[in-house]
Copies of this chain bind each other. A is one copy, B any other.
Amino acid sequence: MSKFWSPFVKSLVPYVPGEQPKLAKLVKLNTNENPYGPSPKALAAMQGELNDNLRLYPDPNGDLLKQAVAQYYGVQTAQVFLGNGSDEVLAHIFHGLFPDISYSFYPVYCGLYGIAFDAVPLDEHFQIRASDYAKPNGGIIFPNPNAPTGCVMALDAVEQILKASPDSVVVVDEAYIDFGGETAISLVDRYPNLLVTQTLSKSRSLAGLRVGLAVGHPDLIEALERIKNSFNSYPLDRLAIVGAAAAFEDREHFEKTCRLVIDSRERVVAQLQAKGFEVLPSAANFIFARHPQHDAAALAAKVREQGVIVRHFKQERIAQFLRISIGTPEQNQALIDALGEL
């Protein structure tokens, strides 16, 4: 603290990212990274860009990547916004389009931009209930699949929320959509109030590259471009633009690795259930599970001792849950072994 800090800085409660330990030997099942590497074509594209051209600024619009995303989803490039991770995309959305705001970063953004919000509780089964959102609001955001529960909403429930609030921007944060959900991007042409955000950190295994995007009506995208161009003209570096574009083009690698993660998830769910865990239905690359007889913090500490890190949140309603990322078959087995007999 210092006399130079504004009251606003003093009031900030920053987001705490999942631990990134520097020990290579730990089995990291705490930050929902992809166990499989990115598309070899993405690596090759970045390889090709690793040359003296790094002396030049990147394309501030990232047109190459906008075109790849537009082609992949069958939308126009004017419906695509890009950012330095979906965290940056979300920050600009909060800043520009929200005057009600699950993912623990949402209240942080509200704090950053002085936005009043109302966190809508999940139902008794930890599910989002669409009817709970049909009330006066200045904007709605929810992840689908939800984090940290992993539970997915069907597209007709998303549509119900869109119809109930035609005068508000509704943001669907689809960071985990490719592991078992259906994207709402198919709805953007019918709902001018819909913004869908995605990331390349999960299903495209490029967490280290920092690329996220939003798809929606060109008017909403233009609002985001105005904010972005008032903040940082070049949020994506040259390597990120070419690598992300190639990752979108490589459907085969994408589909194969998503399938491997989904298959592993179903195996881990069965193994945990066999140990007595209650596991919420997951459409993500992580699962949210609790054991009726064992304290979650104690279980997290137990597996940590054996070199496996999982995420534990201390909030009241979920304090007995563990959020476990799906790793390679070997990493998942390390978790099951570390849990041992319960």
Contacts and interface: CB of A to CB of B under 8 A. Distances in A.
**Number of this chain's copies in the complex:** 2
A50 B58 contact: no
A31 B4 contact: no
Given A85-B234, A230-B14, A54 B206 contact: yes
Interface stretch (A237-245, A271-279, A304-312, A333-341): A237-245
Interface stretch (A73-81, A178-186, A215-223): A215-223
A55 B208 CA distance: 6
Nearest to A4: B169
Given A1-B219, A9-B96, A14-B229, A33 B57 contact: yes
A16 B225 CA distance: 12
Nearest to A98: B6
B84 A235 contact: yes
Contacts of A13: 230
A33 B56 contact: yes
Interface string A16-60: 111010100000100101111110000100110111111111111
B84 A54 contact: no
Given A52-B38, A201-B57, A208-B53, A97 B230 contact: no
A201 B208 CA distance: 21
A317 interface: no
Interface of A: 1-6, 8-9, 12-18, 20, 22, 28, 31, 33-38, 43, 46-47, 49-60, 84-85, 87-88, 91, 96-99, 108-109, 111-112, 167, 169, 192-193, 201, 205-210, 217, 219-220, 222-223, 225-240, 243
Contacts of A59: 20, 22
Contact of A112 (B16, B60, B85, B230): B230
The 3 closest A-B pairs by CB, nearest first: A37-B52, A14-B229, A2-B219
A56 B9 contact: no
A102 to B, nearest CB: 17
A259 to B, nearest CB: 16
B55 A88 contact: no
A36 B53 CA distance: 9
Contacts of A37: 51-52, 54-55
Max chain B Cβ within 10 angstroms of own Cβ: one of A4, A5, A111, A217: A4
